[in-house]
Structure 1
Amino acid sequence: MPKILVVDDEPDLELLLRQKFRRRIRTGEYTLIFAQNGVQALEQLDRHPDVDMVLSDINMPEMDGLTLLGQLDQLNLDIRAVIVTAYGDMKNIRTAMNRGAFDFVTKPIDFGDLDTTIHKTLDHLQVMRDALRSRDELVALRQELGVAARMQETILPTAFPTDPRFELHAWMTPAREVGGDFYDFFRLEDDRTGIVIADVSGKGVPAALFMMVSRTLLKGTAIGESDPAKCLGEVNDLLVKENEESMFVTAFYAQFNPASGRVDFSNAGHNLPFIVKPSGDVKQIECEPGLVLGILPTFDYPIGSVQLDPGDTFFFYTDGISEAMDEEGNELGEKELAEVLAECGGLTASDVNRHVVQTTQAHAGEAPQSDDITCLALRYLGDTSC
C-alpha cells in the first residue's frame, strides 16, 4: 500500500484531498499522511520510514519545501518528491528539480493532473525498486557463481604427476564463470594411470553440476573396473537412471601404462585424440565414436589401444578448441588443429597445451569465447632407467 506524505500549511487541503481520494483511501490504494511544514514532515518521516512519496508545497513556515528537499537528499531515503508551486514559477521549479524533485504540479491544483502525477511517480518508484532488487539478485547470483567457480577449480586436479617416465599436463578455460568440460587423472592398479576428458551438454551452473556428478561416477567406477569400455558402460547406466533433465556428456577414457607406453581406451561420443611424434608427424587415433553418456542404457562401448614410442605425445581435447570461431564464424577445425600440433613435436606436455590454447585464442581474435577450452597432453618419455 503506497504511503504518501502531504506537506502543506493550507488547513483546508487535508480535508479536500481526503474527499477527492476517499475511494482510493477506503480501498487501500493510498495511505495519506499530513504535515504543515518541513519540520513536521521530517518528524512524520521519522515515525513512518516506509513513506513512498512526498507531495510538498514550496512556501511554508519554519521550513519551506526547497529546504525540505535538501533534507530528503541527505537522508538518502528511497522515496520520490513532487512539489506544488505557483503556475509559471520556473525559478523555484528548476531549484526543486536540481535538489531531487521527481515532478511538480501547479496551483490551483488540478486533481485529475495530480492523480496522474501520483500514479506516474509511484510507477517510476516501483520500476526503480524492481531494478535495484534485480541488481541485488544479480550480485548475489554472481557471488554464488564465484563460489561455484572456486569449487570447480578445487575439484579439477592442478598438481600434475612427477614421473621420469611421462609428463602429464592439462588446461581448462571456461567460457562462463563455471564450465561443463572436465578432465581428470588418477592412479589405478598395476601402476597404470586413468585419464579422462569430457564435455557436458549445455553451459553454466547446470552443466557444472552435471559435470561434477559425471566426474565422481567415472572416477569411482574406474578404480574398480579395469576395462575402459565396461567402465563407460557402468557410468552411462548410472547417469541414465538419474537424468531427469536429459543432459548428456561426451567422454574419452584412457588407461595408460607408463612401464610399456600402452594406452587402452574407450570413447563415448568424444573428439578423438591425436598422437604427436617428436618429428612433428601427427595422426588422429582410430576408434568407433560410441554413444554419449546419459541417454540410453546398456550400450556396449568401443575399445581400442595404441602403443606410444618414447617422445610421443597423446593429445586430448574438447570441441571448444576445434570449433573455436573467429569474428566471421569460421571454426578452427580438426585439420587446422593437426597443423598446430605438428609444430609441437618434441615440446613438453605443458608447452604443447600452451601453444594450442594460444593459437586457439589468436584464431578467435575479438570473437567471444563460445565454449570451454580444455586440453590434456600426455607425453611418454620411456623407461629412463635403461
Structure 2
Amino acid sequence: MTYAILVVDDEPDLETLVRQRMRREIRRGVYEFEFAGNGEEALEVLANNHSIDIVLTDINMPRMDGLELLSRLSSQTKDLRSVVVSAYGDMKNIRQAMNLGAFDFVVKPVDFNDLRVTIDRTIKNLETWRDATAARNRLASIENELGVAKAMQQSILPKHFITEPTHRLYANMAAAREVGGDFYDFYRLPDGRIGLAIADVSDKGVPAALFMMVTRTLLKSVAKDGADPALVVGAVNDILCADNDSLMFVTLVYAIFDPSNRSLTYCNGGHNPMMIAHFDGSTDLLDPLDGVALGITSDYEFASHEIELLDGDCLVLYTDGVNEAENKAQDCFGMDRLRALFQDGGFSNAKRANEVVFDAVRTFAGDNSQSDDITCLTLCVGEVDRMA
C-alpha cells in the first residue's frame, strides 16, 4: 500500500531534498509526496486530494502558519495524522501543536532516518484508528440485527485454546442479553510469550457490544508486537478517549505470560483483581490499585507489574458477572465463594477450572435471571495430570 504524505513548508529547496532522500521509498511505492508552500496551499491540496494520509508541516510560514493549519485540520477530519517540524528547543510551539492534534514532531535540521521512524509510527497509529473505525461502522450497520450481532460476537472470541505440557488456557463468556459487553482474548506473540486479556464494558446489549468490538480490535492491533502491557493499555485508552461521544468506558486486564520462566507481566485498567489459586488450596488476589477504566481520561500513565507463577498455580481472570451474580434473595456470589472453589487445590485442567466457576455461579443464582455477562479465563501452570 502506498501512503500519501503532504509536506507543507516554504523552503524552496525542500521538495528536491525530500524527493532525493526518500527516492528509494518513492521508487518502491511506499510513499508518494505532495508539496505546499503554506497552510492555505495545503488546505487546497487536501480539498482536491482526499487520499492524503499524513500532513508533515513546518510551523513558521507566511499567509497561514502550521499552527493555524493544525487547528483547521482538527475540525475537518480525523482520518489523517499530522506531524510538525520545528526548531530544536522550540517546546512552546511543539506543545501547542500537540494540543491542536499533531500526532508527533521532528526537529530541524531534519534527520531523515528519524523522519522515517516517525512516519512509520504515525502510519501504524493511523491504521489502528482506521481498523477500529471500520469495526465500529460494520457493527453499527447491524445494530437492529441482534441475531447476526450475536453470531458475529461469538465468532470473534477464540474457540481453540492452548494445551501444552507446561501450561493450559481456557476461557468462556455467557452474555446476559443477546449480545454482551464482556470479552476475553489471547495472542501468541512472536517471541513465544502469550498475551491474554479480559474486559468488561460499562453497559450491556448492543451499545456495549459495539464498544467491546472496537476495544478488542484496538487491543489486538496494539498488542501484536509484544509491547509492555502498560504501554498497550495506555495506547488503547488514548484512542478510545479520542472518539467517545457515548461516554462509555471499559475495565480491562492485559497480561503477558512467558512460559519459559513462568513470569506474568500485567496491567490492570480498573478491572477486578486477578486471582491465583495455588496448589495447596490457598489463593491470592493481584490488586495493584493503580489503574483506571479505559475511555475516561486520556494520557493516563498506567503501570505494569510482574510476578512469577508457581508450579501448580491456576490464574483466574473474571468479570463482575461472577462475583456479583445474585440469587433470588439478592445475595451476591462474592469473592469468598469464588476462592472456596479452589480450596482443595490441584487444578491442572484449565477447562475444568473454568467449568467449576460457571457451574458454581449458575447453581448459586438458581432461577434468578442473569443480569450481567459472565466471563472467565483460566491459565493453569505445571505438568499435565500432576493434580487430580
Q: What is the TM-score with the length of structure 2 in the denominator?
A: 0.61
Matched, 1:237 2:260: no
Equivalent in the alignment of 1:357:
358
Q: Which runs of 4+ in 1 moved over 3 A?
A: none
Q: In the superposition, relative to structure 1, how do residues 373 and 344 fare at CA in structure 2: closer, same or farther (>3 Å)? A: farther
Paired position in structure 2 for 1:379: 380
Structure 2 unaligned residues grouped into runs of 5+: 1-141
Contact 2:266 / 2:306 at 8 angstroms: preserved in 1?
A: yes
- Paired residue for 2:178? 177
Query: What aligned pairs does 1:295-314 form with structure 2 within 5 A after superposition?
Result: 295-314=296-315
Q: Tell which deviates more after alignment, 339-348 or 308-317.
A: 339-348
Q: Post-superposition shift, 1:249?
A: 0.3
**Per-residue deviation, 1:286:** 3.6
* Counterpart Cα distance in 2 of 1:142 and 1:231: 29
Task: Answer yes or no: is the 8 Å Cα contact 2:348–2:383 preserved in 1.
Answer: no
Mapped to 1, the partners of 2:321 and 2:185 lie a distance apart of: 17
Measure, in 1, the Cα distance between the counterparts of 2:290 and 2:155: 31
Letter in 1 for 2:243: E
Instruction: Mark the CA change 1:364 to 1:212 in structure 2 (over 3 Å): closer, same or farther.
Output: same
Tell me, in whole angstroms, the C-alpha distance in 1 between the residues paired with 2:310 and 2:209.
36
Moved more, 162-171 or 319-328: 162-171
1:328-347 paired onto structure 2 within 5 Å: 328-343=329-344, 345-347=346-348
- 1:96-135 aligned within 5 A: none
Q: CA deviation at 1:320?
A: 0.1
Distance (whole Å) between structure 2 residues aligned to residue 296 and residue 382 of structure 1: 43
Task: Deviation per CA, 1:100-132: give whole Å up to 9, x if none.
Answer: xxxxxxxxxxxxxxxxxxxxxxxxxxxxxxxxx
Note closer, same or farther for the CA distance 1:258–1:225 as it changes in structure 2 (3 Å cut). Answer: closer
Which residue of the partner structure matches residue 252 of structure 1? 253
Contact 1:258/1:382 (CA < 8 Å) preserved in 2? no
Separation (CA, whole Å) in 1 of partners of 2:353 and 2:384: 22
The alpha-carbon deviation at position 287 of structure 1 amounts to 1.4
> Which residue does 1:321 correspond to in 2?
322
Find the counterpart in structure 2 of residue 30 from structure 1.
none
Q: CA deviation at 1:289?
A: 4.2
Moved more, 276-285 or 245-254: 276-285
For normalisation by structure 1, the TM-score amounts to 0.61
- Secondary structure of 2:288's counterpart equals coil
Q: Deviations over 1:59-114 (max 9, x none)?
A: xxxxxxxxxxxxxxxxxxxxxxxxxxxxxxxxxxxxxxxxxxxxxxxxxxxxxxxx
For 1:344 and 1:330, the matched residues in 2 are separated by 26
| Alpha-carbon distance in structure 2 between the residues aligned to 1:155 and 1:201 | 20
The letter for the 2-side match of 1:188 is L
Which one has the bigger helix percentage? 1
Structure 1, unpaired ranges of 5+: 1-140
Q: 1:291 to 1:377 in 2, by over 3 A?
A: same
**Residue correspondence of structure 1 range 158-169 to structure 2 within 5 A:** 158-169=159-170
Matched with 1:366 is 367
Cross-structure match for 1:50: none
Deviation at 1:198, TM superposition (A): 0.2
Q: 1:364 is aligned with what amino acid?
A: A
Partners of 1:180 and 1:343 in 2: how far apart?
32
2:150 & 2:172 partners in 1: Cα distance?
15
Q: Which moved more, 1:328-337 or 1:194-203?
A: 328-337
Q: Find the counterpart in structure 2 of residue 290 from structure 1.
A: 291
- Give the Cα–Cα distance (whole angstroms) in 1 for the partners of residues 198 and 381 of structure 2: 18
Q: C-alpha offsets along residues 192-232 of structure 1, whole Å, 9 cap, x if unaligned?
A: 00000000011101100110000010111111352101110
Counterpart contact for 2:348–2:381, Cα < 8 Å: no
Q: State whether residues 229 and 265 of structure 1, in contact with CA within 8 Å, keep that contact through their aligned partners in structure 2.
A: yes
The 1-side partners of 2:341 and 2:245 are apart by 40
